[in-house]
Amino acid sequence: MEQLWQDFPGTIAAVFEGMLDAIKSENIYREFVKRGWKLNTFCELMHTAPQGVRGCLVSDAKGGSIARENQGPYYYECQFGLTDIAFPIFIGDRFITNVYFRSCLTAPPSQESFARVKEKVKGMKIDLKKLEDAYFDVSVVPEIRLKEYLKLGHMFFSYLGKAEEILKLGAARAAKSPHVEKVERFIQENYFDDISLDETAKTVNLSIYHFSRTFKKETGFTFIEYLTRTRMDKAKELLSTTDSKITDIGTSVGYDNITHFNRMFKDLEKMSPRDYRSLLKSIVSSP
């Protein structure tokens, strides 16, 4: 984790400061996106020229479009040779905006690579000596390390989205009926069994229709969504705290079919259980 701070100085600190402000404002994404990111010196110089601003906008539009379509982070080379990252922001299935981390190099800068930059800024009123100094001061993040950060960032923004959902549902959850509270306890105590909507509705003596409507209204989730999230939370806990086989973890949270478990986990977390465990290990062992 120390290397993460070195590669993106100030960025992670800004993230957590933004989270604190966001929680106070009860709108995480509005506050988080509003803060933005401080440009490095190279990009600041580029933004002193209209062509530079336009070039950044074009690059971001293309990269952001791919990130949104893929529903995951995407890194790309900007028009001036630096690597940018677009993180799409979703609350549930609703796209909000892209957050851009800019900019780094995936290989050490050289006079040869800077020569290509100079070709691209011909005709722009930019001090080339200052631009060269700024270019050679840009953070270098090897591509293999960059991919690790993309996974980490994706996890972060996914959890941020869930936190936003929780905040939006907070008022409703504070006034939950005894029926819904009883069902939540029932799911928490029996998530590993093959429990059904009909069986669960009977625990509170409600029809399936009445139960489904009430549960969705008060929790924000359908019965299946709530059960799946409960199971995945338990699975993530086991993936992070034990060395149990993924097949055994799937079985222990209610999935006898490992393919079904893998698919449900990936649908919710945007990565497989194996990748999730590997990512956690890489974070812990990161120098």
Query: Are both 147 and 235 inside the same structural domain?
Result: no
What residues does 104 pair with on adjacent strands?
Answer: 83
Q: Higher model confidence: residue 113 or residue 160?
A: 113
Given a cut of 50, whether residue 286 has pLDDT beyond it is: no
Tell me the pTM: 0.48
Query: Are both 218 and 148 inside the same structural domain?
Result: no
Query: Are both 65 and 127 inside the same structural domain?
Result: yes
pLDDT band per the 50, 70, 90 thresholds, residue 231: very high
Distance CA 178, CA 60 (A): 49
Q: Which of 167, 185, 208 is the last residue of a domain?
A: 167
What residues does 166 pair with on adjacent strands?
Answer: none
Virtual torsion, Cα 267, 268, 270, 275, nearest 10 deg:
-100
pLDDT at 188: 87
Q: How far is CA 181 from CA 173, 187, 193, 213, in A?
A: 9, 10, 19, 15
Q: Domain of 201: which CATH number? A: 1.10.10.60
pLDDT at 246: 93
Query: Are both 135 and 19 inside the same structural domain?
Result: yes
Q: What value does the mean pLDDT of the chain take?
A: 77
Q: Higher model confidence: residue 229 or residue 19?
A: 229
Residues 214 and 180: beta-carbon distance below 8 Å = yes
Number of neighbouring beta carbons within 10 Å of residue 32:
23
Specify the DSSP class assigned to residue 105: B
Q: How many domains does the chain have?
A: 2
The residue segments making up the domain with residue 193 are: 176-285
Q: Which of 140, 167, 194 is the last residue of a domain?
A: 167
Query: Are both 233 and 139 inside the same structural domain?
Result: no
| Cis, peptide link before residue 103, omega less than 30° from 0 | yes
pLDDT of 179-227, one tens digit each? Answer: 888 888 899 899 989 899 999 999 889 899 998 998 888 888 899 999 9
Given a cut of 80, whether residue 4 has pLDDT beyond it is: no
Query: Are both 110 and 127 inside the same structural domain?
Result: yes
pLDDT of 139-172, one tens digit each? Answer: 888 888 878 777 777 777 676 666 555 555 444 4
Distance CA 230, CA 239 (A): 14
Residues 4 and 149: beta-carbon distance below 8 Å = yes
pLDDT at 19: 40
Query: Are both 93 and 182 inside the same structural domain?
Result: no
pLDDT at 282: 63
Query: Are both 154 and 227 inside the same structural domain?
Result: no
pLDDT band per the 50, 70, 90 thresholds, residue 239: confident
pLDDT at 94: 67
Q: Which of 141, 167, 193 is the last residue of a domain?
A: 167
CA 271 centroid distance within chain: 11
Query: Are both 124 and 185 inside the same structural domain?
Result: no
Given a cut of 90, whether residue 284 has pLDDT beyond it is: no
Query: Are both 142 and 237 inside the same structural domain?
Result: no
**Residue given tokens 């009123």 in the structure block:** 125
Query: Are both 153 and 74 inside the same structural domain?
Result: yes
Query: Are both 127 and 236 inside the same structural domain?
Result: no
Residues 86 and 63: beta-carbon distance below 8 Å = yes
pLDDT at 175: 58
Start-to-end CA distance of the chain, whole Å, equals 6
